[in-house]
């Protein structure tokens, strides 16, 4: 399966599990060398061992994307091992539970710090080697950048920020030959989505009422394939599934007063239910989130 990534070094944040791990596996199958960055050293070590051998190479680095010094160490280690960085997948992300009115403000702030500021710090830490390689960035945004949902205020804000950060970054780096893409997954069958479905009956009810294409759940494998295809083609946009492009095209209508009317009607019922469910849980992140596992 060797292709355009053969011999290229790809640095992935949030690589320990889910989309990051599966993207690493598929990129390795396409001949890439992997720098795996994340918060869960045991999982990172196991994945690096899995992706090493038979002509494949992988290294892992424990780093929080909100910590520039830790990211600098991961980048230095990558350059020492592989002598360059050809692509970066800024994938690390979290989603807090609850609304602004009743949720944990520190969890809301952490969501923005990881999902948006973490992307900025990842890019800042890698621009020098990426300019040298005329590389490609894939910044992971979301369908949430196009459509607001109650209970996801911080997540929506962060992902919308990633999209527009990517748009500006693309202009800043174009003269260096560096390209920038943004990825916009819908609901992917990750721990994040599974935890939300398990924790919150109100989320399950809301998901069941969502129209096509935002009401469906996509496999992690399909998402990883779209990401790797985006890396190989140096794509400007990656939609998972591809029908999410419709949501972007209709974003003005979706976020208009008319478009929001139906969501508002449902929110009057579902938001109080969700707030009560989160209060009963007694935690601000999903059970399998690195924010909870690391405690």
DSSP for 164-209, written as a single string: HHHHHHHHHHGGGT-EEEEEEE-EESSHHHHHHHHH-HHHHHHHHH
Summarize pLDDT for 253-295 with one digit per residue, the tens. Answer: 888 888 788 788 888 999 999 999 999 999 999 998 988 876 5
Cα separation, 194 vs 176, whole angstroms: 41
Percent of the chain at pLDDT exceeding 70: 99
The reported pLDDT for the residue numbered 292 is: 82
The helix-helix angle for 153-173 and 105-112 (nearest 10°) equals 20
The reported pLDDT for the residue numbered 43 is: 97
Where in the sequence numbering do the catalytic residues fall?
155
Q: What is the sign, positive or negative, of the torsion defined by CA atoms of 240, 183, 106, 41?
A: positive
The reported pLDDT for the residue numbered 215 is: 86
Three-class DSSP category at 101: coil
End-to-end alpha-carbon separation of the chain, Å?
Answer: 39
CB 259 within 8 A of CB 253: yes
Question: In this structure, what token pair is assigned to residue 120?
Answer: 């900025």
Summarize pLDDT for 50-95 with one digit per residue, the tens. Answer: 999 998 999 999 999 999 999 999 999 999 999 999 999 999 999 9
pTM across the whole model = 0.95
Across residues 151-162, what is the average pLDDT?
97
DSSP secondary structure, 223-290, as one string: HHHHHHHHHHHT-SEEEESTTHHHHHHTHHHHTSHHHHHHHHHHHHHHHHHHHHHHHHHT-SS-TTSH
Per-residue pLDDT band for 2 (boundaries 50, 70, 90) equals low
The reported pLDDT for the residue numbered 241 is: 96
CB 44 within 8 A of CB 14: no
pLDDT of 15 > 70? The answer is yes
Q: Which helix (DSSP H) or strand (DSSP E) does residue 9 occupy? A: strand 9-13
Distances (CA, A) of 2 to 42, 153, 190: 28, 41, 27
Three-class DSSP category at 150: coil
The reported pLDDT for the residue numbered 257 is: 86
């Amino acid at each position: 399966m060797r292709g355009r990534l053969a011999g290229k070094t790809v640095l992935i944040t949030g690589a320990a599990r889910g989309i990051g791990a599966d993207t690493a596996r598929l990129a390795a199958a396409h001949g890439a060398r992997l720098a795996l960055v994340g918060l869960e050293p045991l999982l990172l070590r196991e994945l690096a061992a899995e992706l090493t051998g038979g002509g494949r190479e992988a290294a892992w680095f424990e780093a929080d994307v909100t910590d520039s010094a830790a990211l600098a160490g991961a980048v230095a280690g990558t350059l020492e091992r592989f002598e360059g960085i050809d692509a970066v997948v800024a994938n690390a992300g979290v989603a807090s539970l609850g609304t602004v009115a009743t949720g944990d403000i520190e969890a809301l702030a952490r969501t923005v710090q990881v999902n948006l500021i973490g992307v900025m710090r990842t890019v800042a830490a890698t621009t020098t080697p990426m300019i040298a390689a005329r590389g490609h960035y894939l910044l992971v945004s979301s369908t949430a950048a196009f459509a607001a949902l109650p209970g996801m205020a911080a997540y929506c804000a962060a992902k919308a920020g990633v999209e527009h950060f990517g748009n500006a970054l693309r202009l800043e780096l174009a003269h260096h030959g560096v390209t920038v893409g943004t990825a916009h997954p819908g609901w992917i069958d990750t721990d994040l989505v599974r935890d939300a479905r398990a924790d919150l009956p109100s989320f399950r009810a809301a998901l069941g009422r969502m129209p096509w294409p935002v009401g469906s759940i996509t496999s992690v494998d399909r998402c990883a394939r779209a990401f790797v295809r985006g890396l190989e083609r140096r794509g400007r946009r990656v939609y998972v599934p591809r029908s999410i492009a419709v949501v972007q095209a209709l974003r003005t209508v979706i976020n208009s007063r008319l478009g929001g009317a139906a969501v508002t009607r449902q929110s009057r019922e579902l938001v109080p239910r969700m707030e009560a469910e989160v209060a009963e849980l007694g935690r601000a992140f999903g059970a399998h989130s690195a924010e909870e596992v690391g405690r």
